[in-house]
Structure 1
Amino acid sequence: MSTALERLAKSFDPADIERSWYPRWESARYFSPSMDPATPSFCIQLPPPNVTGTLHMGHAFNQTIMDGLTRYHRMKGENTLWLPGTDHAGIATQIVVERQLEAQGVSRHDLGRTAFIDKVWAWKEQSGNTITAQMRRMGASVDWQREYFTMDEKMSSVVTEVFVRLYEEGLLYRGKRLVNWDPLLGTAVSDLEVASEEEDGQLWHIDYPLADGSGRLTVATTRPETMLGDVAVMVHPEDERYAHLIGKAVQLPLCDRQIPVIADDYVDKAFGTGVVKVTPAHDFNDYQVGQRHGLPQISVLTLEARINDNAPAAYRGLDRFEARKRIVADLEAAGLLAQVKPHKLMVPRCERTGQIVEPMLTDQWFVAMSKQDAAGKSITQKALEVVQNGEVQFVPGDWVNTYYAWLNNIQDWCVSRQLWWGHQIPAWYDDTGRVYVARNEAEAQAQAGGKALSRDNDVLDTWFSAALVPFSTLGWPDGTPELKAFLPSSVLVTGYDIIFFWVARMIMMTRHFTGKVPFQHVYIHGLVRDGEGKKMSKSEGNVLDPVDLIDGIALDPLLEKRTSGLRRPEKAPQVAAKTRKEFPDGIPAYGVDALRFTFASLASLGRSINFDQKRCEGYRNFCNKLWNATRFVLMNVEGQDCGLAADAALDHGFAERWIIGRLQEAEQAVTLALDTFRFDLAAQAIYEFVWNEYCDWYIELAKVSLQQGDAARQRATRRTLIRVLEVILRLTHPIMPFITEELWQVVAPLAGRRDTESLMLAAWPQADLSKVDANANADVAVLQALAFAARNLRGEMGLPPAQKVPLFIEGDAALARFGAYLVPLAKLSEVHVVAQLPEDDAPVAVAGGIRLMLKVEVDKAAESARLTKEIAKVEDGLAKMQAKLDKPGYADKAPPHLVAKDRALVAELTDKLATLQAQLRKLS
């Protein structure tokens, strides 16, 4: 039978471990909750990723936090559920399938609605689960047995039920309102799907003649084509230049209409000419102005963004941008184009298609956000109250201001989309246009008295079904055990970019329909950016793929990835050069654990996370460190007496008492960090304890005890090595699940733990601060100070590592207990504790008030020559750097970080020079 050491590979290979463990966890159903009503429940709802999506850095970061919390609470023995699902992603999915059809020369209209929906379902079954496979790669311990899809039959029935109830309560209506419209998709789109970017444009100054012939007003606009729908021109009521014109009329250029001059505070007197055109049917701000002044709404664009019949005949049928050219030319010909200026403007584009979005007046379905229900409160008021009274808490707390600001200025929510893929709106119309909202067609027919009905073609906004996830996924409206146990869930982990679109709406809907809040905490994390703090984007060529960081990728495929999706292909050489500089050999394979630990270490309470690939390298080294430490421990404890018997006598030295106490403090620190969502502090506490204290110090001290101690001391040392390591694996598991599980399987039996078949189910460590030994801490602090001082002396004297020399320590006999440890720590031949250091030329150091000396025969002439040469070299470097800083204008003109770097180097060289000169003086 092989030993534990033989079963553990000689080196850490993350790929083999990851392939092995996840299927075993999933098949054993370790991810499922216990459903034990006697234990506290912990639940996280996975923000459902789009079914079209693939894992990106934001997902990987977000899921590292969620999985860490889930594993932590599972180990605490709680009834733990991380509930997974995917969103049907109406627009994104329809685009994917339509593009596939286009490649075959077919459109969705050729197929018809039913056949097209069948095509979408077929695509979903074949290609729509990429991201869930990638979640498994990341180690996500979600309960796959409960996985949902937002178009599942059960989910769809809840969507219908909610829609009907809102309508019956008078909180949902159909009306003509201004919405974001994508002319290519032919649908309204949400604000989240619109990205406004600064682009080069023009500002046209157009003269509007006064109707009485007394002059003209000059209006500045970036969209001349919309002037065909102008219904007024507007000035500020306190603008003295135009006060006398308020109430008069102007002739609308190119149109046979007169429009009034009105006054409104919305106008910025300092912008342009201080005169603004008002087009309520094609501008959101103008729409509000129109509502205030009772102005008509004249739409001049079709849904395909062509000029419609409300405009003069000369422009009808023209595309909006072709119409712009024609209108500008006609204005110039009529002498009404005052001037044209270059202008930077924010252009709203649909993120799905890249099309410029048009504000469009259309018939849509809306949820009334401010209308009071039977209890006298609006949906919005309820959502405000639960945060104000602390039922829902934001972490960090300052995000609550963003939440309040949006809710206090909220508009009615447009929930309809002109798509085929999605939850079709449960509304039917008779031939007079009367609407019947019902749970099914039979119910609608009953309402209509048997009239012939046609169903509404629109579907619901994806965010509508997403807002119901906290309760729709748990069996509502039935009173299921899951609904009782997991609503509210414990925490929602999400980015700040969807506080408006998802977080607030989940709170609204859950409170309204269940009387509960959807979650107790909202942990808002930052967005992952590149190393320079820039947003990761395929169009910018700076994306990192988490799977590439896990598996590694060669330079050529990486270059292909980064340059193929550029919005501006001419930037490809620049992107390629930057990529070669950043990743000259491609990206090595770091494995999941190193990537997860990197994310955890970056998870501070900030607004953005600048991802540095070099940290992955450091945490891959951390994995190696833990792996090698485990092999050392196995080598020294397996088959030996580790003092695990209840009656075993233990002789803990100061080193054992110190590391056991420090372990208690690490357990406390990690637990507090996870309870307060400070993954960065948890990672820091784990790293410092494992690398700095357990591996770099205690293992080195343990070697001395194992080699030189008596049987009792060796037994205590072996016990401490294996028991502390076993707890380290439990502490680290939520962040690095794979390596810890692999090591646990060989460590746990030797540590006397046979209470679980998987580390996932092991008990979370409980700190016992009574085990913190102040005397042992003080002893180790003295030992460390002596070791550091001795090492520094070796460095100052230029001693090679192989040269062992004696150390003299001035002090009482009690210091002798450190001698055996200092010999290997400082590469000494022996240690002598003396009442007074010998009078000698050897360098002396002071550590915590204790003087010590390395006794070594020095060739004074050779050492003097070496020091003189080194001093000359440092003086030369110092002179050059000082001359650079003293150069006129350098400190003022150079980038501040470079100046600071140069000054730090001067300080470093100055200190080094002083040390070398002191050594030379001692020799003379």
Structure 2
Amino acid sequence: MTDTTPDSELPKTFDPAAIEAKWYEHWESKGLFRPERPDAQPFTIVNPPPNVTGSLHIGHALDNTLQDVVIRYERLRGKDALWVVGTDHAGIATQMVVERQLEARQDKRTNYSREAFIDKVWEWKAESGGTITRQLRRLGCSMDWSREQFTMDPHFTKAVVKVFVDLYNQGLIYRDKRLVNWDPKLKTAISDLEVETREVKGGFWRFRYPFADGTGYVEVATTRPETMLADMAVAVHPEDERYKAAVGKEILQPLTGRKFKVVADEHADPELGSGVVKITPGHDFNDFEVGKRAGIKPADMLNMFDAEARVVQTADGLVPDKYLGLDRFVVRELVVADMKQAGFLIPHVTKDAEGNEVESDFEPRTIQTPFGDRGGVVIEPWLTDQWYVNAEHLAKAPLEAVRSGAIEIVPKSWEKTFFNWMENIQPWCVSRQLWWGHRIPAWYAADGKVYVAETEEEAQALAGAGVALERDPDVLDTWFSSALWPFATLGWPDETELVKRHYPNDLLISGFDILFFWDARMAMQGLHFMKEVPWKRLYLHGLVRAADGQKMSKSKGNVVDPLGLIDQYGADALRFFMAAMESQGRDVKMDEKRVEGYRNFATKLWNAARFCQSNGITASTSVAAPQATSAVNKWIIGEVVETLAELDKAMADLRFDAAANAIYHFVWDQFCDWYLELVKPIVTPAKAGAQPGEDAPQGGSASSEGLDPGLRRDDAEAAETKAVAGWVLDQILVMLHPFMPFVTEELWSKLGERADYPLITALWPQPGAAVDPAAKAEVDWLIALIGNMRTAKNELGIAPGAKLDAYLPDPSAATRGIIERNPGAIERLARLNGIRFEPAPGGAAMQVGAGDANVIVPLEGVIDIAAEKARLEKALAASQKEAKSLEGRLGNPSFVEKAKPEAVEKARADHALHVAEAERLAAALARLG
């Protein structure tokens, strides 16, 4: 794949689809994602395991691109780079997928035994569970697929069970009655991450709650009237003067006849409503805490719902029969009607258009309402017996690790959030009411005693012979098992070589949205069981948002499919976009035009490589930079040295945007736009029989500039330049490879004999050279002159190809030397008839700066000075007028606050555009004097 026969000639057109599948299969089949490097320094990352039910979304594309950039970079630097890959069994999501398949066949889970249903899940996993792993390959992720993991693999299950049993025996896992997020459709507890808040049109009802002694009442307000059937207190703020006399008095709840007290608690906000809050500790998270502070034990808190959120009788038997068995929202309507009929509803009063008072049962409100992200129904805080981890104890070690620097969080700004959450952490509910997952290793005897052990045989031994045991039907939360990912994937609890060599991991790259659900829990379990941090650095990236900054969602219709972008622009372009836009945790705004721009960048490199190939510039035979004598070759070697240093620093700091931009600007600007242009006459052979002034063949050049054979140097300089150009192109391919692996590998294979080692395992650049200040100053002067001359021509409407006269009286010795050494480049690229070291003739002229020089270019006879001035003045006035108008609009608070965000954003962009245009036009006028 690395020969230089005619078959290796680069096609004229860069086609990503033609090379991506070929190279990925080559890398994977040859084991190149984890080459054998037993003596090398290990470097380890683990991917956040996607759900086995998942498909690649734009967030996965960002997360995995950043990881692949890092792992390819460290592999090129010679490390034993291991990227652990696998999928999560995704308890709820997977069970739902299989249940839906059964429903499509008019079948259901409960028609099967638990074991038979789980067999069906495994069948589904074997047939359909690999979608996302195939899609990760399309993105170019160089994971160690030979060790692909699954959280339900036998060795992983062994680790999960051991952790549960050990934590139980250490008193850090226990069973307790607490409130959980309950999904009435799925009939299971779910984590906070599986709860999504939606805005729902609802109401605010106000009721009178009378004192039991008949001396009056307090007014309470609620968005959930049905829960009054399980009220156990009324709370007021301890410093609210209005209710100090009421604290301790008994309320007689009108519908149930239940008596409970008015308690003082800071949860009650004196500024909100009447300042009185009804307390239902069995069905509200805040009320649960108020109830505990008021002395109500969780075991005594009243529960009024069953698993499907239908009303059931409370422990005190005071719920009227008419409500029993009904859905919570049906009961809401009945409760309001009954309280109204009994005279305890306080109507909401408004005025109509004529000023007449109008009464209604409630005040309309938009309520932030929790929904299950999979069940799709309103979540109910529900008091149940569940298994909990003592997270407060396990959080101590990670807190200390971050404070001491043993774990570095990047960006550092996330430390405050981490500390705040971990210092106020609540018990972690780890049980789920599902069939699919790691079943909790606990067995119950008839007397209620629980026996926790790794096997049923061990549990029976603990209980004693003849004691009948029944296993806990629940499974563990998937976050519990994925918390073991950094070490269980390496073979723990067995003491494998992988564990010894690759734990702790070096880096974790994660979205900030799972900092607590996954990252913090890995830190807890890793430090507790391995006595070491799970990773030395934690990098938290932002979200990928729509172009207008909104969060992507299917309901908004603004979701972007990364696979569609890959189909259109290639994986390299999407990857480069992700890296270039990732700026230390800030959200990434999706911009398809920029993805297209990076596809053009790959094409630019492709065409530059074609130019090199067609002119005999091939692969370098040296890791170190070749010897160079000419300024332009010394300069480009120095630019490689500077770019490499910039790239290495950016990667060390995890500044993906800085790293991507460093290599981008070097490739596009220094190499393609300047170096190849400057050396083109040296490396391009003249046509046979060509006369001075004839153009040489272009051969896929990145530029359309004509060549003057009369400007060519001797063969020694051509050989040197070709060697340097080939070496520089090699360094580009290596430095760019982590970001754009496919196009770089293809070019690497086509540009010379590589002794059958592909780019993926090449050596990271080691130039062994330094920046030559004199060469840098010389070429930078030429670039400034050429660039400024082109800009000046454009501003004044002069044709780009027009050759002009130029004068520079009394140049400095350094500047004179540069001009005398580079007449060809100045004539060919700046389009000047040389630069004369004498005063310019009188008349209109423009000045073009470069270094310490101001080159004077006469304009008499080149343009109509008066007409050009008039044109520029008219355009300047128009731009200034438009800029002033937009400035006024943006200075109007009414517009900025009330207009649509996109309208304000467009006005700001237009204002910046007109200000810049006015500055450009003013500069052009100044040139004319």
The two structures have a TM-score, normalised by structure 1, of: 0.90
Report the alpha carbon displacement of residue 840 of structure 1 after superposing the two structures with TM: 4.7
Which of 13, 23, 26 is residue 24 of structure 1 equivalent to?
Answer: 26
CA distance in 1, matches of 2:220, 2:624: 94
Match of 2:134, SS state, is helix
Q: Which residue of 2 aligns with 1:848?
A: 851
8 Å CA contact 2:617–2:725 kept in 1: the answer is no
Greater mean alpha carbon deviation, residues 899-908 or residues 84-93: 899-908
Check if 1:703 corresponds to 2:655. no
8 Å CA contact 2:4–2:752 kept in 1: the answer is no
Q: How has the CA–CA distance of structure 1 residues 151 and 214 changed in structure 2, closer, same or farther, with 3 Å as cutoff? A: same
Which of 523, 534, 542 is residue 526 of structure 1 equivalent to?
Answer: 542
Alignment of 1:112-191 (within 5 A): 112-191=113-192
Report the alpha carbon displacement of residue 904 of structure 1 after superposing the two structures with TM: 4.4
Q: Which residue of 2 aligns with 1:745?
A: 749
Q: How has the CA–CA distance of structure 1 residues 136 and 772 changed in structure 2, closer, same or farther, with 3 Å as cutoff? A: same
Greater mean alpha carbon deviation, residues 231-240 or residues 814-823: 814-823
Q: Which residue of 1 aligns with 2:401?
A: 386
Report the alpha carbon displacement of residue 834 of structure 1 after superposing the two structures with TM: 2.2
Check if 1:250 corresponds to 2:254. no
Report the alpha carbon displacement of residue 780 of structure 1 after superposing the two structures with TM: 1.2
Q: Which residue of 1 aligns with 2:899?
A: none
Match of 1:715, SS state, is helix
Check if 1:510 corresponds to 2:514. no
8 Å CA contact 1:637–1:722 kept in 2: the answer is no
8 Å CA contact 2:576–2:660 kept in 1: the answer is yes
CA distance in 1, matches of 2:430, 2:480: 6
Q: Give the percent of matched residue pairs that are identical in Structure 1 and Structure 2.
A: 47
Q: Which residue of 2 aligns with 1:790?
A: 789
8 Å CA contact 1:601–1:680 kept in 2: the answer is yes
Which of 375, 379, 396 is residue 353 of structure 1 equivalent to?
Answer: 375
CA distance in 1, matches of 2:493, 2:751: 48
Report the alpha carbon displacement of residue 680 of structure 1 after superposing the two structures with TM: 0.5
Check if 1:681 corresponds to 2:658. yes
Report the alpha carbon displacement of residue 548 of structure 1 after superposing the two structures with TM: 0.5
Q: Which residue of 2 aligns with 1:867?
A: 868
Check if 1:453 corresponds to 2:469. yes
Q: How has the CA–CA distance of structure 1 residues 155 and 26 changed in structure 2, closer, same or farther, with 3 Å as cutoff? A: same
CA distance in 2, matches of 1:898, 1:645: 51
Check if 1:366 corresponds to 2:388. yes
Greater mean alpha carbon deviation, residues 264-273 or residues 458-467: 264-273
Q: Which residue of 2 aligns with 1:733?
A: 737
CA distance in 2, matches of 1:259, 1:550: 63
Alignment of 1:868-887 (within 5 A): 870-871=871-872, 873-874=874-875, 877-878=878-879, 881=882, 884=885
Q: Which residue of 2 aligns with 1:575?
A: none
Which of 423, 426, 432 is residue 441 of structure 2 equivalent to?
Answer: 426
Q: Which residue of 1 aligns with 2:336?
A: 328
Report the alpha carbon displacement of residue 315 of structure 1 after superposing the two structures with TM: 0.6
8 Å CA contact 1:33–1:81 kept in 2: the answer is no
Q: Which amino acid aligns with 2:574?
A: L
CA distance in 1, matches of 2:582, 2:625: 43
8 Å CA contact 1:660–1:772 kept in 2: the answer is yes
CA distance in 2, matches of 1:645, 1:262: 81
Which of 552, 565, 586 is residue 607 of structure 1 equivalent to?
Answer: 586
Which of 479, 482, 485 is residue 469 of structure 1 equivalent to?
Answer: 485
Q: How has the CA–CA distance of structure 1 residues 725 and 322 changed in structure 2, closer, same or farther, with 3 Å as cutoff? A: same
CA distance in 1, matches of 2:221, 2:623: 88
Which of 849, 858, 861 is residue 858 of structure 1 equivalent to?
Answer: 861
Q: How has the CA–CA distance of structure 1 residues 433 and 235 changed in structure 2, closer, same or farther, with 3 Å as cutoff? A: same
Q: Which amino acid aligns with 1:34?
A: E
Which of 576, 591, 603 is residue 597 of structure 1 equivalent to?
Answer: 576
Q: Which amino acid aligns with 1:658?
A: W
8 Å CA contact 1:806–1:856 kept in 2: the answer is no
Match of 2:473, SS state, is coil
Q: How has the CA–CA distance of structure 1 residues 181 and 920 changed in structure 2, closer, same or farther, with 3 Å as cutoff? A: closer
Q: Which residue of 1 aligns with 2:635?
A: 658
Check if 1:627 corresponds to 2:631. no
Q: Which residue of 2 aligns with 1:482?
A: 498
Greater mean alpha carbon deviation, residues 23-32 or residues 830-839: 830-839
8 Å CA contact 2:745–2:759 kept in 1: the answer is yes
CA distance in 2, matches of 1:225, 1:160: 41
Report the alpha carbon displacement of residue 98 of structure 1 after superposing the two structures with TM: 0.9
Report the alpha carbon displacement of residue 849 of structure 1 after superposing the two structures with TM: 3.7
Report the alpha carbon displacement of residue 910 of structure 1 after superposing the two structures with TM: 4.6
CA distance in 2, matches of 1:746, 1:912: 44
Q: Which residue of 1 aligns with 2:687?
A: none
Report the alpha carbon displacement of residue 419 of structure 1 after superposing the two structures with TM: 0.4
Q: Deviations over 1:501-542 (max 9, x none)?
A: 111111111111121211111011111111111111112111
8 Å CA contact 1:4–1:638 kept in 2: the answer is no
Q: Which amino acid aligns with 1:186?
A: K
Q: How has the CA–CA distance of structure 1 residues 362 and 907 changed in structure 2, closer, same or farther, with 3 Å as cutoff? A: closer
Greater mean alpha carbon deviation, residues 779-788 or residues 212-221: 779-788
Q: Which residue of 1 aligns with 2:366?
A: 344
Report the alpha carbon displacement of residue 383 of structure 1 after superposing the two structures with TM: 2.2
Which of 12, 15, 21 is residue 14 of structure 2 equivalent to?
Answer: 12
Q: Deviations over 1:789-808 (max 9, x none)?
A: 33244335533234334444
Greater mean alpha carbon deviation, residues 96-105 or residues 812-821: 812-821
Q: Which amino acid aligns with 1:330?
A: D
Where in structure 2 are there 5+ consecutive unaligned residues? 348-361, 684-708, 897-903
Match of 2:326, SS state, is coil
Report the alpha carbon displacement of residue 195 of structure 1 after superposing the two structures with TM: 1.5
Greater mean alpha carbon deviation, residues 342-351 or residues 74-83: 342-351
CA distance in 1, matches of 2:857, 2:648: 44
CA distance in 1, matches of 2:517, 2:201: 30
CA distance in 2, matches of 1:859, 1:657: 37
Q: How has the CA–CA distance of structure 1 residues 393 and 842 changed in structure 2, closer, same or farther, with 3 Å as cutoff? A: closer
CA distance in 1, matches of 2:37, 2:629: 43
CA distance in 1, matches of 2:621, 2:524: 56
Report the alpha carbon displacement of residue 898 of structure 1 after superposing the two structures with TM: 5.6
8 Å CA contact 1:816–1:832 kept in 2: the answer is no
Q: Which amino acid aligns with 2:591?
A: D
Q: Which amino acid aligns with 1:151?
A: M
CA distance in 1, matches of 2:855, 2:341: 95
8 Å CA contact 2:202–2:223 kept in 1: the answer is yes
Q: Which residue of 1 aligns with 2:759?
A: 759
Report the alpha carbon displacement of residue 909 of structure 1 after superposing the two structures with TM: 5.6
Report the alpha carbon displacement of residue 10 of structure 1 after superposing the two structures with TM: 1.5
8 Å CA contact 1:82–1:141 kept in 2: the answer is yes
CA distance in 2, matches of 1:647, 1:293: 75
Q: Which amino acid aligns with 1:91?
A: I
Greater mean alpha carbon deviation, residues 330-339 or residues 911-920: 911-920
Q: Which residue of 2 aligns with 1:196?
A: 197
8 Å CA contact 1:885–1:891 kept in 2: the answer is no
8 Å CA contact 2:577–2:595 kept in 1: the answer is yes
Where in structure 1 are there 5+ consecutive unaligned residues? 371-377, 552-588
Check if 1:538 corresponds to 2:554. yes
Match of 1:244, SS state, is coil
Check if 1:713 corresponds to 2:721. no
Alignment of 1:221-300 (within 5 A): 221-295=222-296, 296-300=300-304
Q: Which residue of 1 aligns with 2:824?
A: 820
CA distance in 2, matches of 1:686, 1:883: 39
CA distance in 1, matches of 2:280, 2:636: 73
Q: Deviations over 1:711-748 (max 9, x none)?
A: 11111111111000001100011111001100111235
Report the alpha carbon displacement of residue 651 of structure 1 after superposing the two structures with TM: 5.4
Kindly tell me the number of residue pairs found equivalent between the two proteins. Answer: 866
Alignment of 1:88-127 (within 5 A): 88-127=89-128
User: CA RMSD, aligned part only?
Assistant: 2.5
CA distance in 1, matches of 2:626, 2:508: 49
Q: How has the CA–CA distance of structure 1 residues 637 and 887 changed in structure 2, closer, same or farther, with 3 Å as cutoff? A: closer
8 Å CA contact 2:72–2:142 kept in 1: the answer is yes
Q: Which residue of 2 aligns with 1:307?
A: 311
8 Å CA contact 2:890–2:907 kept in 1: the answer is no
Q: Which residue of 2 aligns with 1:668?
A: 645
Q: Which residue of 2 aligns with 1:555?
A: none
